Structure 1
């Protein structure tokens, strides 16, 4: 890894995955990059190269999980794209065969379940916690040919993947008025009726929105997606788990984790007149996240605990969709790429890879090291 700080930063991309009446699917793509200050090189900002490599591994892991899961399941599917045909009524609902909630779910309905196979799928008020918001109904029976006709074979994993890719993102964009953030916390999902429902004649599938974690595990949604900021952020004090040096999903801070969020920053408050460049975001976030770190850990906490400060960026696509918020976070960069494992909240006594951090030697009295703009070379000492 180069010792030069890197100015690029980026938001993690969304991860898709939906359990179903008979299973689930997940995939991931993630990308975060950061810069590094100079008062203690390699211990303040996470380099873009390292974080990009670490989070790319998250994508690979989640994709593998999706492929493994989908082999054993035939229910909910998720994806990045979906074209909806108008609801023409289609075949009569199969009721309990595909599930009453599935058979009667319409645009704007919110669904939830607790069982791994979603056998207890039910409709709930969208102000309550739920796992899926229906954006469109797609009636496969009106497609030309006999592929989805009476007595047709239940489509396999790859065919349902193709169907979701052909149909769902346009449907979600139409549902949200072209304000879907593909890099935000919500991903596009598809629910099919399962083999039993298909055998009974059910040919509708549902496109919708879900909040997929990094590993594809669904997180609860409260309220309709159209009425909330889609930024992929966590509340300050949230710890993000770790698996083979890459981040996973939120965990208790007493468990091993990759990093801890320390604050949420609303870029819209600082830049009310329009989209700020990455450079402008970095200049503002360097100061803002450093201040947040000092308040969260104490003035010397970051240095003494040998931690790395980093933040996200909002890109133009996300900005146009209405996303404005980013996280400031702290973790521990490792030279081979990714994160070290931290136990306990960084506010208190922590273990890094099983050992307490060893503070670096104190800086000489009367000597200070300026903090450069992101991308600048470290200032010489001496």
Structure 2
């Protein structure tokens, strides 16, 4: 007994994308004259990957910013350097006031979206796990005349902290998926970042499916995706949970994502099959414990629905349908 497809997938897509702050996460290195961070920031260019150790102190954060191999963990991949001093406007002239966060966000939108698409050869997934980012001088660096900004790619979690990445973005599938067994946290009904399954979470990933293997040609329609994913995710959930009745007995819902045209064109092919509990008011209930074992839903142990009497059957829910009672 499962409720599947579009309803659950839409909730996850909206929740995850909305939870990721893609607007104001603009990392600014601390400009301290001879620091490694300043040297690396000033000399970095397209194709460079930058790493640093985050701290809670804004005066010391990114002091150790340095260029590393993109094959190593890093937090920013540079797509283009833009020297604002070349623009003949007073806003960027010597002695001009330091821009606020909203202005830097606007500069990112003006310069970096196109820069990232050019840098990746059009293979940037706008709804994938990565986002367009901007690195800019600190206030001290601006006062000293630094006007170069770096457009690039970053991975931002719901907590606004930049996550570590490995490998060049254009060379990999950018789908927003997590490994099977990953639990994604929940806050006010909205999915957040991966957490320990022993803490409150919105859903648990049971499988990752590569649609490219089933659809080697063009983008399959949502209906074609659902027709393939329904039995595939159901089989994966039963294997992961240990039986065909576990999902029903724990009153959980099985759902998955769909790949849209922009993601497919960027090379994204993977989707997650997950189990969780949607609530009537929208969003997700808070589950504690792995679905493989004992769980609570909003603090209460689930009560299995009554068994279906012999000789009766219930219809299989259609893609996008609301969950059947007890599903």
TM-score, L = length of structure 1: 0.76
How far apart are residue 149 of structure 1 and its match?
Answer: 1.7
Closer, same or farther: CA 54–263 of 1 in aligned 2, 3 Å = closer
Give the match for residue 58 of structure 2: none
Q: Is the 8 A contact 1:98 1:197 kept in 2?
A: no
Partners of 1:308 and 1:239 in 2: CA distance: 15
1:308 aligns with 2:250: no
Give the match for residue 100 of structure 1: 39
Give the match for residue 267 of structure 1: 211
Residue in structure 1 matching 2:228, options 284, 287, 290: 284
Give the match for residue 118 of structure 1: 62
Structure 1: state its 5+ residue gaps: 1-38, 77-92
1:40-189 residue pairs with structure 2 within 5 A? 44-45=3-4, 48=7, 52=10, 56=14, 75=28, 95-96=34-35, 99-116=38-55, 117-189=61-133
Residue in structure 1 matching 2:190, options 246, 253, 263: 246
Q: Secondary structure, in 3 states, of the residue corresponding to 1:212?
A: coil
Residue in structure 2 matching 1:339, options 272, 284, 292: 284
Closer, same or farther: CA 367–358 of 1 in aligned 2, 3 Å = same
Partners of 1:376 and 1:227 in 2: CA distance: 37
Residue in structure 1 matching 2:298, options 344, 353, 365: 353
1:180-199 residue pairs with structure 2 within 5 A? 180-199=124-143
Q: Is the 8 A contact 1:44 1:302 kept in 2?
A: no
Q: Is the 8 A contact 1:283 1:373 kept in 2?
A: no
Give the match for residue 235 of structure 1: 179
1:325 aligns with 2:270: yes
Q: Secondary structure, in 3 states, of the residue corresponding to 1:302?
A: helix
Which deviations, in whole Å up to 9, do the C-alpha atoms of 1:27-61 show, x marking residues without a partner? xxxxxxxxxxxx4xxx633772x775686566666
Q: Secondary structure, in 3 states, of the residue corresponding to 2:40?
A: helix
Q: Would you say how many aligned residue pairs link Structure 1 and Structure 2?
A: 316
Give the match for residue 80 of structure 1: none
How far apart are residue 146 of structure 1 and its match?
Answer: 2.4
Q: Is the 8 A contact 1:54 1:245 kept in 2?
A: no
How far apart are residue 216 of structure 1 and its match?
Answer: 2.9
Give the match for residue 219 of structure 1: 163
Partners of 1:376 and 1:350 in 2: CA distance: 25
Q: Is the 8 A contact 2:6 2:257 kept in 1?
A: no
TM-score, L = length of structure 2: 0.88
Q: Is the 8 A contact 2:50 2:75 kept in 1?
A: yes
Partners of 1:376 and 1:331 in 2: CA distance: 16
Partners of 2:18 and 2:73 in 1: CA distance: 29
How far apart are residue 292 of structure 1 and its match?
Answer: 0.9
Partners of 1:169 and 1:236 in 2: CA distance: 32
How far apart are residue 368 of structure 1 and its match?
Answer: 2.7
Closer, same or farther: CA 234–306 of 1 in aligned 2, 3 Å = same
Q: Is the 8 A contact 1:131 1:219 kept in 2?
A: yes
Which deviations, in whole Å up to 9, do the C-alpha atoms of 1:269-288 show, x marking residues without a partner? 00012110011011111111
